[in-house]
Structure 1
Amino acid sequence: MGNPTRWSTDTGPEHSRWYVDRFRQLAAEGADLAGEARLVDALVAPGARILDAGCGTGRVGAALAARGHTVVGVDADPVLVDAARADHPGPRWLVADLAELDLAAAGEPEPFDAAVVAGNVLTFVAPGTEAAVLTRIAAHLRPDAPVVVGFGTDRGYPLTAFDVDMVTAGLRREHRFATWDLRPWHDDADFAVTVLRRPTP
């Protein structure tokens, strides 16, 4: 692992366990936890190979797997990955630093048809590694594959910086929305969902 993530430095020692319990409770209550997966599912062909980057407890990847996709989820927090493995068997869940992502070394050499980066992941990576994270994600994709990224606009990672970092990573912006259910983007929105594309050579 590289530099400590904001997830580990900016939260308390019990935060990961609280996060696991929170989403287990939401699932038990019947909350809709698959909104991000519905959007990604609409962008890919049936049976796509999808990277869930910053998978957390696995809720997005599990919903995609239930729709027939092959999913590999990656997160730096072993507590969250353990919960994903326990609650959502089927996808492969791995502990890894997204800024140093090398899935071929973990036995996953085949490129992905899409990637999803949900749950404010980019605001929780180690400071200054955002461009590296996007670059490593892009390196695992087929040409023309979409990357869908969502995060709060008031969480310390400005959209202007994100737009620079996506270009550095070799990605281009295709769409931007204010929510995962595709509400129109406006400049004072407190959340941004951006569909990026890895250009065809």
Structure 2
Amino acid sequence: MSERSTAPGSPTRWATDTGPEHSQWYVDRFRQLAAEGADLAGEARLVDALVPPRSRILDAGCGTGRVGAELAARGHTVVGVDADPVLVEAARADHPGPRWLVADLATLDLATAGEPEPFDAAVLAGNVMTFVAAGTEVAVLRQVAAHVRPDGVIAIGFGTDRGYPLADFDAHVAAAGLRRDHRFATWDLRPWHDDADFAVSVLRRPA
């Protein structure tokens, strides 16, 4: 496992590894894709299949809100959090309904924000785990898991070529007290294979 020693509270790699205009570019990109009718709901379809109707779902690293918004449209109660206020503001503007909050996943404490009720599931889409501050991966997984009820699920997807080896991720999952139930190569459940360029892991918080 590679050395990752940054403490929780450090700037995310989203902030340190991208330019000052990147967040607005990201907002504009997904608004354009939505306007063109692109399918932006793949992650939400998978999460919807993992939970009962009218579940409570945490969109962790929600970005512009596209995943959480689709889950809300499917009848779920959604709270989305992201460390980037530009993205959260876009989510609030484009997708009213869910609650969108600015928060660092490594120190996440939604009870203090008026959300003490546990979630049935959490989703980390859009390469979230590759953008958290280096060294906070276990803290992020632990804090997200702490907001999920026992036996709840956490779905996480990221590119396998983005500097975060799957062996490290699996070790961090174990260190956070989670177990992996499934792994797929895409959000539409194509079978996992070792040379896949994307990994979707379905984790569970033990009862």
Normalising by structure 1, we get a TM-score of 0.99
> d(CA) in 1 for partners of 2:172 and 2:81?
20
Matched residue, 1:81: 88
Q: Does 1:183 align with 2:190?
A: yes
**Residue matched to 2:103:** 96
Q: Which residue of 2 aligns with 1:124?
A: 131
Distance 2:144 2:74 in 1: 22
- Partners of 1:141 and 1:148 in 2: how far apart? 12
The C-alpha deviation readout for 1:94-118, integer Å capped at 9, x for no partner, is 0000000000011000000000000
Q: Which runs of 5+ in 1 are unaligned?
A: none
Question: Counterparts in 2 of 1:57-72, with a 5 A limit?
Answer: 57-72=64-79
- Cα drift, residue 131 of structure 1: 0.6
Superposition map of 1:5-16 within 5 A: 5-16=12-23
Shift of 1:72: 0.2
TM-score (norm 2): 0.96
2:27 maps to: 20
Verify: 1:199 aligned to 2:202, yes or no: no
- How many positions carry a matched residue from both structures? 200
Work out the CA distance in 2 between the residues paired with 1:47 and 1:145: 14
Identity %: 83
2:5 corresponding residue in structure 1:
none
- In 1, the alpha carbon distance for the partners of 2:162 and 2:45 equals 25
Cα root mean square deviation, aligned:
0.7
Amino acid at match of 1:97: D
User: Which deviations, in whole Å up to 9, do the C-alpha atoms of 1:122-152 show, x marking residues without a partner?
Assistant: 0000011011000000000101000000000
Q: Distance in 1 between matches of 2:77 and 2:96?
A: 12
Taking the aligned partners of 1:142 and 1:132, their CA distance within structure 2 comes to 17
CA distance in 2, matches of 1:127, 1:170: 19
SS in structure 1 at match of 2:141: helix
